[in-house]
Amino acid sequence: MKIVFITTGGTIDKIYFDRKNRFEVGDPQMGEMLCEANVTLDYEIIPLLQKDSLDFGEADRRLILETVRKSPHRHFVITHGTDTIIETGRVLLEAPGNTIVLTGAMQPARFRFTDAVFNIGTAVSAVQLLDQGVYIAMNGRIFRPENAWKNVEKNRFEEI
């Protein structure tokens, strides 16, 4: 089984941009994280977008969908900003026959204290074990985009 990692930006790839503590989406961190974790599974990384998910439009979501549809592979982990990950997950329901796990982070992967590595690990395990469908891996749990929401006040995802 080959796992295709599609990176789209979001907090997981954010870096300090200047001395004013402003963040911008930087280069994808996926390759470095997989290397540091000594991951030995068969994978490829497609750096598709470098955007904050609040800046995503319908064309961006369709690009992600078409990238999945055109792939000969059937297992995907997609890194995504948490603000609109649910909306993209719902669009990806239009790609049946695949196992797709979206994940992100509340803190950038480059931070010492981040949930990024844990969420990626959860997503990698999930994509290998779950049946076909679309899922979101956050906060140590697996959600369906149809019944998940981001609780901004508690800084976590929850089931509706």
**pLDDT by residue (tens digit) across 5-34?**
999 988 777 565 555 555 556 566 788 888
pLDDT, one tens digit per residue, over 129-157 is 999 999 999 999 999 999 999 999 999 99
| pLDDT at residue number 96 | 98
Mutual orientation of helices 85-92 and 58-70 as an angle, nearest 10°? 50
Q: Report percent pLDDT > 90 for the chain.
A: 71
Q: Report percent pLDDT > 70 for the chain.
A: 86
- For the chain, domain boundaries: 2-159
| pLDDT at residue number 146 | 96
CA distances (Å), 108 to each of 13, 30, 31, 78, 105, in order? 6, 12, 15, 16, 7
Superfamily of domain 2-159: L-asparaginase, N-terminal domain (3.40.50.1170)
The residues facing 133 across adjacent strands are: 99
Reported pTM: 0.90
